[in-house]
Amino acid sequence: MNEKELLYTAVKAADDKRAEDIIVLNMKGISLIADYFIICHGNSDKQVQAIAREMKDKVEEMGYSVKRMEGFDEARWVLVDIGDIVVHIFHRDERSYYNLERLWGDAPVENVPSEFNQ
């Protein structure tokens, strides 16, 4: 599986659990941490955890491992490290507070949803 397929799998997993406002930022040449950031949010603690759990399960089904997952128990901001892809799953209230899209405003947005819904 290549990086794009992994990216699509992660985005689809978030979408399957009804994550809202899914945005993929292309961080190549901007951040040394990852090539892509996926940012999304859920409306409750349970939904945030369900999104993170689904993403972990789908990525592992594809033969990849989640290197690290932080914040799962608190479910306010869950960080899922899939190597070159870092996923930020926020609770709705936390997302607007941290506003990562603005912080990384110079990163181009990838148009992933239309591509994986084929």
Give the type of residue at 2.
Answer: N
Say if residues 101 and 93 touch (Cβ distance below 8 Å): no
Number of domains in the chain: 1
- Report pLDDT for 49: 97
In a domain, 41, yes or no: yes
- The two tokens of residue 63 are 């033969």
Residue 12's SS3 state is: helix
In a domain, 82, yes or no: yes
Helix boundaries (H) for 17-99: 45-61, 92-98
Whole-prediction pTM value? 0.90
**Model confidence pLDDT, tens digit, residues 47-72:** 999 999 999 999 999 999 899 999 99
- Report pLDDT for 1: 58
In a domain, 77, yes or no: yes
Instruction: Give the phi and the psi of residue 2 in degrees, each rounded to 5.
Output: -95, 175
99 vs 94, 113, 116, CA distance in Å? 8, 21, 25
CATH code for the domain in which residue 96 is found = 3.30.460.10
In a domain, 118, yes or no: no
Print the domain residue range for 20: 3-113
Segment 29-45 mean pLDDT: 93
In a domain, 108, yes or no: yes
